[in-house]
Structure 1
């Protein structure tokens, strides 16, 4: 864009300079012609005087020189004139006028060598200056030339303005900002080039949408059940693996297995379409119920069995969820099987940190069998008494603990490096843990859900953000970048957002080294409300990152609309990826649907070298996880 504008300015200046040089050359030639004309005019008078003098001498009329010579001298505008015959002065004329550097002309006739004449004439160029009328005509002509040049320059600039617009659009295209290039349409010349670029950009936008739909279709066929359009068994296995590490489960929660009895009989009564409509009805109602349950996933493990995986939930809440699930499915039972009292059963297994995923599945299956043995529509909880004591706190105790931790500033920050493909630190993600009075640290997976319930998450994340802006960014080197994950409640809190806007404006020079992460799930759900706030963060210079990408099989168009600079893949896609071709296909499809811009794709939860090598082959920009480093305290 700058280069194009520079070229057009240079062309305009070259045109104006050429016109000015042409005008000056013409003016110089006119002055030279005028000078030659005045000299020739004066020389003509001198020739007339010389011819007249020779003619009168030939007629022996030299004594009557006083009769005919004065008129000729005055017509030549001579200052002085003298005629000698030898040493005798025959005639003398003095006009009384003065002139600077006058011309002295000596005339001597070949016929009469003794007779000579001397004329004192003014310089012709200065003597024959134009009068007021002539000067006025010259000025009018000069003004006419200036007006013509101005009109020509404006016309020339209008013609080149189209080239500048084309240059700007081409510059945006090279940077991958296709939407801005499409909106930068101009009616400048040449118009057909603008129309051609616009048509190609429209076709490209349509092709990108079609590619996004195709990639969504690929991912859907990989991880979605074809009948119910929810996650299939493969997605369930990935999600369960993502929650576990080498030391077992990395969080606490519950696994609920929902089994529909007599589904084959119902299939015979309702047919394919009827059974599909019944399953979709159940899935729709269960999905609505789970909207109020954060961190929940609904998948279909088999033809008649569904699974609900919920993390960061208490035992009491898991029991309530199982009871509600049974009542909901029982209420949706079709009339064809109304006489069956044992139509649906739920088996629930509660897990804690360190539990093995295989053992969890066995416990959930045993709970399901126990529920089926009881008959009727009911549920059974496999409770081995392994509820986290930390999570067993009541809501009032959690609020008191978190408020005291905020007042005493007992939140400890940890940083985990994100390593790029060259082995360098791309940025560091900041995590928070709460310190108890006795010095023990409480994991974020424990206190964050309670902080959200208590409405304290904005204060906690504000405390962490202040630590980054006031301490880490100023003290770090210019190459140190830090990221922080902000919750939906935090970003939508008006008080927090006003504070964020003010502090980012005060420290705008540090904002290019700050990365704000948001979760994909609530970004997609509340994109319209969230987008203006995300745009403000970008305007302040900070970068945007969408976290936990891949949990849902959705179009990536929201990444373009929200203007994200970075994408972090969910650990369920990364776990054992070197052994899972379907996950590799999913990531290839996901990356293929991203716009061709500078969007970094980062993988979370990398534990094995084989995983990192496979991710680099797939084109992942950077990764974080236990393979590189665990979170390290920075306090």
Structure 2
């Protein structure tokens, strides 16, 4: 826009100079015409005098020169007059005017008499003095010209400012800042083009929203049950696979299967409406309980069977949760049917790290059949007697352990590369583990839930950021590397942490552009209003922001553009075996299509094979991380 402004100033200057040149030429022509006219008028009088003198001598006039010539010379205001014939002086006249600014006419008169006349007259325009009327006319003319020039300048400037406003708005559109362009229509001219841009921007915004709704519709029909609007069987399979790798389950937890025994009979007797109402009330009640369980999975496995997966939970807590879920189900109002007290059955399978994911459903089915054999609504837990001893630690022991680790700085950082299609490393994601008194490393999936319960996440993440900024990024060997750090909702909702982070980024602004802060999609969706000012602050400080675990929920992607994320990372449940799952490919293609004409780049997590990475590249994913590119390495 600087070029447009410079060109506008040059155009106005050229117009003003052209107008001034025209006025100057006009005034110069008028002055020259005035001077020429006065000289011509004076020359005409001199010519008339010459004719009179010639006639006087040729016609032998009875009048003597002394009688008529002096009054005429006086009328001419002559300064000097001399008439001679050869060397003989015939007549001489000396006027009373000064000798300055005179015009001399020295000519030979016509005829054979040899008469010669010398006449000195004052300059014709020197005799003229401006009166007040003439001065008034001159001033009015100058004022009129000045007013016209001023009006033309203001009109021309206003017109060009309208063009500048139109150009500024066009630049916002080309930069992708469509909302800013739509919110600042301005006074762009031509107004017809400005109104056309406003209408097109409004229609484009509607199209983007419609695209987001269509994208959500596609994913809803792929991963959501159409009646209950919770995950379907495919959603359950993807999420369970995401909790495991080639070595089995990555974290302990429990899988429940809730079956409504006579739902088909109830549907035949009471109708579809009553059955849907029962399903919705039951699902809503269970959802309220699952809100306290982080990363829980809730899906409809079949017509009368619901599945619940709760990771990172102890066996005692799993038993208490099963009892609570069954009580919620029994509290639902049932119509009068036979064996109403034998309607709900809950079977659970507790698993630990390393268990095979394919066996979980079989064990949960066995537990469900055992609950049904009891003869009344109840629950049964299938337990192999394997409870992670580290996970079974009490909250008091965990708090003491984590606080000591913070004091002794026993949190160890690991970096995993995020690679682009050409093999270059876009950035490294920082992971954290903690060293226990025995020297072993405790996984983040194990200590983070306890840190959240103990309220220690802000201190832990602050220590991770300090190590990344002051040790990793300050090292000369890593001066060209970018790093991403995960931030929890506890940290972003802590005033002290946000104030410290803002001060630190302001102090190390030269390093802020190399930082990427990641927030999970679930946290962004649930706490968008609270997180928006914090995310804006991080962006203004120069850091980039990323939303990860995308695909765990079926939500509109409109928030990605509205909150200004730079990157998104697909959850491993979408990425795993994507080359064999066309429904996951449809999800990724729809997601990337909804981000068309934005600068948001799509990354992938958990890529473990060449086939997965090749498929992701074909779909349009920019970069990825996972075991295929390298495991996290201690920094």
TM-score, length-normalised on structure 2? 0.90
Q: Aligned partners of 2:469 and 2:236: how far apart in 1?
A: 39
1:257 maps to which residue?
257
> Residue 233 of structure 2 contacts residue 299 of structure 2 at CA under 8 Å; is this kept in 1?
yes
The residue that corresponds to 2:214 in the other structure is 214
Q: 1:4·1:168 contact (CA, 8 Å) conserved in 2? A: no
1:165–1:184 CA contact under 8 A, matched in 2 = no
Q: Shift in Å at residue 308 of structure 1?
A: 1.2
The offset of 1:162, in angstroms, is: 3.8
CA distance, structure 2, for counterparts of residue 539 and residue 508 of structure 1: 10
| Deviation (angstroms), 1:223 | 0.9
Note closer, same or farther for the CA distance 1:369–1:147 as it changes in structure 2 (3 Å cut): same
Spell out the pairing of 1:192-591 with structure 2 (5 A cutoff). 192-332=192-332, 334-337=334-337, 339-473=339-473, 480-591=481-592
Partners of 1:88 and 1:254 in 2: how far apart?
A: 145
More deviation, 589-598/158-167: 158-167
Structure 2 counterpart SS, 1:292: coil
Contact 1:326 1:344 in 2 (8 A): yes
Question: Whole-Å Cα distance in 1 between the matches of residues 249 and 73 of structure 2?
Answer: 124
The 10-residue stretch of structure 1 (263-272 or 69-78) with the greater mean CA deviation from structure 2: 69-78
- 3-state SS in 2 of match to 1:390: coil
Contact 1:177 1:597 in 2 (8 A): no
Q: Trace 1:90-169 onto structure 2 (pairs within 5 A).
A: 90-93=91-94, 95=96, 97=98, 99=100, 103-111=103-111, 114-120=114-120, 134=134, 137-169=137-169
Change (3 A) 1:115 1:544: same
Displacement of 1:174 in angstroms is 3.2
**SS of 2:230 mapped into structure 1:** coil
Q: How far did residue 70 of structure 1 move?
A: 5.1
CA shift in 2, pair 1:98/1:287, >3 Å: farther
Q: CA deviation at 1:32?
A: 2.5
- Structure 2: runs of 5+ lacking an equivalent: none
Contact 2:602 2:621 in 1 (8 A): yes
- Is contact 1:65–1:91 with CA below 8 Å preserved after alignment? no
Contact 1:49 1:73 in 2 (8 A): no
SS where residue 143 of structure 1 aligns? helix
**Aligned to 1:301, what secondary structure does the other structure show?**
strand
Deviations 1:331-373 (A, max 9, x none): 2251424844443232323333322212333333333333333
Q: Secondary structure at the match of 2:513?
A: helix
Q: Secondary structure of the equivalent of 1:210?
A: helix
Following the alignment from structure 2 to structure 1, what is the Cα–Cα distance between the partners of residues 535 and 254? 34
- 1:424-447 Cα offsets, whole Å, 9 max, x none, are 222222222223345433222222
Residues 556 and 87 (structure 1), Cα distance of their counterparts in 2 relative to 1, 3 Å cut = same
CA distance in 1, matches of 2:325, 2:409: 41
Distance verdict in 2 for CA 1:425–1:384, change over 3 Å: same
Counterpart CA distance in 2 for 1:608 and 1:321 is 37
Distance 1:131 1:246, change over 3 A: farther
**Contact in 2 for aligned 1:42/1:124 (Cα 8 Å):** yes
- Distance, in Å, in 2 between the alignment partners of 1:623 and 1:365 is 36
Distance 1:330 1:6 in 2: 77
Partner of 1:490, secondary structure, is helix
8 A Cα contact 1:512 1:542, kept in partner: yes
Alpha-carbon RMSD:
3.1
Question: Which deviates more, 153-162 or 80-89?
Answer: 80-89
Contact 1:82 1:118 in 2 (8 A): yes
SS at the partner of 1:144?
helix
CA distance in 2, matches of 1:504, 1:424: 27
Deviations 1:295-330 (A, max 9, x none): 111011222222111222233322221221111112
- What secondary structure does 2:629 align onto? coil
TM-superposition CA deviations, 1:84-130 (whole Å, max 9, x none): 45445542526563547x65432222336654343455666667575
Q: In 2, distance between residues paired with 1:312 and 1:122? A: 116
Alpha-carbon separation, structure 2, partners of 1:489 and 1:606: 29
Change (3 A) 1:218 1:106: same
Using the alignment, how far apart are the partners of 1:480 and 1:123 within structure 2? Answer: 88
Distance in 2 (CA, whole Å) between partners of 1:97 and 1:491 is: 98
Structure 2 CA distance for partners of 1:543 and 1:32, relative to 1, 3 Å: farther
Distance 1:322 1:198 in 2: 56
Q: Deviation digits for residues 53-75 of structure 1, max 9, x if unmatched?
A: 44455566899656655555555
- Please give the per-residue CA displacement for 1:471-495, whole angstroms capped at 9, x wherever unaligned: 5556577864332221112212222
**For residue 31 of structure 2, what is the aligned residue in structure 1?**
31
1:174 maps to which residue?
A: 174
- Name 1:619's counterpart in structure 2: 620
| Partners of 1:399 and 1:218 in 2: CA distance | 44
Change (3 A) 1:376 1:132: same
Classify the secondary structure of the residue corresponding to 1:110: coil
Q: Is the 8 A contact 2:166 2:189 kept in 1?
A: no
Distance 1:160 1:332, change over 3 A: same
Bigger shift: residues 127-136 or 250-259: 127-136
Give the Å deviation of 1:589: 1.7
* Kept after mapping to 1: 8 A contact 2:517/2:544: yes
Report how far residue 418 of structure 1 moved: 1.5
Residues 231, 300 of structure 1: 8 Å contact kept = yes
Paired residues of 1:560 and 1:595 also in contact (CA < 8 A): no
- What is the CA-CA distance between 1:234 and the residue it aligns to? 0.6
DSSP 3-state at the match of 1:107: strand
Residue in structure 2 matched with residue 184 of structure 1 by the alignment: 184
| Contact 1:266/1:336, CA 8 A, preserved across alignment | no
Contact 2:54 2:110 in 1 (8 A): no
Q: Say if 1:42 and 1:313 are closer, same or farther in 2 by CA, change over 3 A.
A: farther
